[in-house]
């Protein structure tokens, strides 16, 4: 089951990056939580291990798709 706190953190982060969401890769400790919450078999009871911050990785150049800054 998805924790509402973790789901809100992920949702807020994805909303905050707006039009750049197709160019941002989530890495670090929170990537494990995303994998566990959304991509893995929920019947498995082993929780992910890692930090709870979100590291975002960006390519050196991203398209000019918005007037806003990242």
Q: Which domain holds residue 34?
A: 4-57
- β partners of residue 27: 55
Residue 69, domain member (yes or no):
no
62 located within any domain? no
What pTM was computed for the model? Answer: 0.50
Residue 64 lies in a domain: no
Residue 15 lies in a domain: yes
Contacts of 23 (CB under 8 A, 6+ apart): 58, 59, 62, 63
The number of folded domains in the chain is 1
Judge whether 14 lies within some domain. yes
pLDDT digits (tens, 9 = 90+) for 20-66: 888 888 777 777 777 777 777 777 776 656 666 667 767 777 777 76
Instruction: Give the pLDDT score at 1.
Output: 46
């Amino acid at each position: 089951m998805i924790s509402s706190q973790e789901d809100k953190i992920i949702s807020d982060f994805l909303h905050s990056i707006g039009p750049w969401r197709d160019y941002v890769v989530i890495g670090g400790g929170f990537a494990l939580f995303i994998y566990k919450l959304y991509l893995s078999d929920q019947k498995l009871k082993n929780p992910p291990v890692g930090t709870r911050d979100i590291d975002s990785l960006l390519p050196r150049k991203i398209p000019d798709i918005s007037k806003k800054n990242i």
